[in-house]
Amino acid sequence: MGVAKACALTGAARHRGLRSVKAAAFKRDETAAGAESPASLRLMKRGLAAKALGGMKLSQVATPLGPLSLGVSDAGLHMAYFDTWWRESAEEDTGNGTADAFMREAKEQVGEYFGGHRNTFSIPLVPEGTLFQKKAWAALEQIPYGKTVCYEEQAKLMNEPGKARAVGAANGKNPICLFIPCHRVIAKGGKLCGYAYGMENKKFLLDFEMSKSTI
C-alpha cells in the first residue's frame, strides 16, 4: 500500500472517529433530555403535594401558557408549576404575613416577566432537592435571559463534565419552573427537547425571551 493511500485511510478513520465522538455526545444530550419529562414531573408532584397541603400557602397567577400554580412559605417561593393540580386548595393571597407578601411579589414578578418588563426574578427561592439537584438548579439560574445551553454545557457549568444525563434528570425535577429557567436548556445542535410542560410552551418561552432580550 502506498504512503499516500495509507495516509488517506488514516485520515478517513480519524474522521469516522470524530464523528463517532460527536454522535455519542449528541446521544448523551438526547438521553439527558429524555430524563426531563412529564412523567418525572408527575412523580415529583406526588411527593410534594402532601408538603404543600400541609402548611404552604398556595395560589395561582394567569399567564399566556395557562395558570401558574405557586407555593410559598415565610422563607420564600418553594414551587411553581404550569398546572392546576391544586386548584381546589388554592387560597386567596389577601393576608398580611410574610408568606402573603411573597405570594403577591411572585405574582407581580410573573406579570412583569410576561409583560416584557422583567428578565430576572428577585424573590427568594427555596427549592427542595438533593445536593446535586440544587447544584443543577443553581447552574440554571446562571443562564442569561434570551440565551440557551445544552445539557453538557450545563454539566460543565456545574463542574460535573460527563454527567449530562444526571443533569437532565435534575432539571426534570425542578420544582420552581420559570423562576429557575430549565426551559433554557436544549439538546446539542439546537433541538428543543426535554420540557415537562411541552415543546410548544418551551418554544414560546424561548422565542419570547429572544424577542425581549434587550430589556
* C-alpha–C-alpha distance, residues 128 and 112, integer Å: 26
Q: Which residue has the cell 400557602?
A: 57
Per DSSP, the three-state class of 131 is helix
Q: Which residue has the cell 420559570?
A: 178
**Is residue 182 annotated as a catalytic residue, yes or no?**
yes
Q: Which residues contact 188 (CB under 8 A, 6 or more apart)?
A: 25, 26, 29, 150, 151, 152
Active-site hit among 7, 150, 177, 182:
182
Checking 20-26 for CB contacts under 8 A at 24+ apart, the result is 25/152, 25/188, 26/187, 26/188, 26/189
- Across the beta sheet with 68-73, the strand order is 57-61, 68-73, 76-81
pLDDT at 167: 96
Say if residue 20 is exposed, middle or buried (CB neighbours under 10 Å; 0-12, 13-18, 19+): exposed
Q: Which three cell numbers stand for residue 208?
A: 419570547
Predicted structure pTM score: 0.77
Per DSSP, the three-state class of 79 is strand
Nearest to 36 by CA among 144, 180, 147: 180
* C-alpha–C-alpha distance, residues 100 and 67, integer Å: 19
- Whether residue 91 contacts residue 57, with contact meaning beta carbons closer than 8 Å, is answered with yes
The Cα-based distances of 174 to 115, 128, 139, 140 in angstroms read: 24, 9, 12, 10
pLDDT at 110: 98
pLDDT at 214: 73
pLDDT at 50: 52
pLDDT at 21: 42
Fold for domain 1-215? Arc Repressor Mutant, subunit A (1.10.10)
* C-alpha–C-alpha distance, residues 173 and 3, integer Å: 56
Backbone angles phi, psi at 72, to 5 degrees: -130, 160
* C-alpha–C-alpha distance, residues 94 and 104, integer Å: 9
Regions of the chain where pLDDT drops below 70: 1-55, 84-94, 215
